[in-house]
Amino acid sequence: MNSIQKLYRVLCIAALAMAISCHKKEFLEAKPDSDLFVPTTLEDCQALLDNEDIMNETPVLGELSADNFYLPYAFWRGLNTKEKNAYRWLPATFDGLTGDISDWNAPYKQVFYANVILEALSHLPITAANEGNWRAIKGAALFARAHAFYQVAQVFAPVYNPNSPGEKLGIPLRLTPGVDEKSVRSSVHQTYSRILTDLLEAGSLLPAEIPFNNRNRSSRPAAFALLARTYLSMDNYPRAKVYADSCLLLHNTLIRYDTLNTQINNPFNKFNIETIYQSRFVTTNVLRGITVSNCIVDTNLYRSYAANDLRSVIFYRIHSSGNINPKIGYTGINQLFTGLATDEVYLIRAECLARMGHVQEAMDDLNALLKNRWRANSFVPFAAATADIALQKIMEERRKELPFRGLRWTDLRRLNKNGANITLKRMLDNPYQLAPGDLRYTLLFPPDVMNLSNMEQNPR
């Protein structure tokens, strides 16, 4: 058995242990993919990390459950079970569905790849010639694992509560590639502690320069940006600000939207100057940029843009039917962007500054972003007399800047926990509603996961 076949077998067995479906017949008949091999060199490890179809996809169920868009009933009826149920917040999203649940499987496959690489590195000596590359690859593997754990936690773990982080169950934290390792649920506190631990070490190992021709690769600014995002989701505003600062010290470039072509459906490409790290949603029948005209942008969101705000024509298009649909985002392809970019980091720092009472600094960050979003010479800087007014304005602009990026579901969870009282509503064959703090803000683990383990299911 050659090295490719060996790793293929390992992947299948490990995937089964982590509920990544791999039926016996399919395994026996399938041919190994050419990009699967046992990593015995640093080049092998880098090749695994560069597999974008595996390492750079993120769950989509949170976005399908959020309030950025709505679907016509006739289109909704044609969706698969998972998408139909996530859209209307049914208690059992998967409704007995087995097999490839990509929202779970994709990130845990990334965890497995990262663990395979970390294990391989433990057997690869550091030399004067390879030290920089060795450190960068270890940092990238730790980043990939943390990024995957974070994505899973936003969908399948309860929202982080700083007042009681250890009381509720989080997600399985697989830290080795061993197939005999039993999957157990950590606490929410343990989940976020592991994410932070991996990212902090990654930040000390990764290169300070963003690999501009390989945005699928992580970097120190990416680790800092994800630390800022993670701490924000934990309501730890001082720490989120520290890492937003650290990221922007290394990369703070913004795109002037008045230099973009507003008439085309793909004004961005994956190498745009704001992107720090590229990732995208797993494949869905709903969110494919301009190719799905039945994904209709929320009317209140679309109407919130001012006349001179170019985001209304950069982010959206008016279909011949009159519906407002999302355009292609920072990926430059139909799968929408869920990565890390400087606009988000500016907004994180602005929010943290406002919550910490630093009103002018908060508004300076917000205005630095917005002056790059409006038509040339049309933007008048915003001012705020109090921290509450500043925060309100920042959150309004966060809503307008970051739709369809996989962030809204996390925002709804954390903001409602803190009293925002946002109720979501759908109208299909019947009305559906999701109240603040509802248990359905945490999705159930997929059936295969429960069938293959003795882990406790999320409550309903």
pLDDT for 20? 34
> Could you tell me the pTM of the whole model?
0.92
pLDDT by residue (tens digit) across 106-137? 999 999 999 999 999 999 999 999 999 999 99
Q: For residues 108 and 164, is the Cβ–Cβ distance under 8 A?
A: no
Question: What's the mean pLDDT in 53-61?
Answer: 97
Ramachandran area for residue 70 (φ above 0: left; ψ -120 to 50: alpha; else beta): beta
Lowest mean pLDDT among 35-44, 59-68, 138-147, 225-234: 35-44
Q: Cα torsion at 250, 251, 252, 255 (round to 10°)? A: 170
Give Cβ neighbours of residue 3 (< 8 Å, ≥ 6 apart).
37, 38, 40
Give pLDDT tens digits for 148-187.
999 999 999 999 999 887 789 999 999 999 877 888 999 9
Is the per-residue pLDDT at 24 higher than 80? no
Report the run of H or E that residue 69 belongs to, with start and end: strand 69-70
DSSP string, 392-444: HHHHHHHHHHSTTSS-HHHHHHHHHHTT----EEEESSSEEEE-TT-GGGSPP
Domains and CATH numbers, the chain: 3-259+337-451 (1.25.40.390)
SS3 category, 75: helix
Predicted pLDDT of residue 406: 97
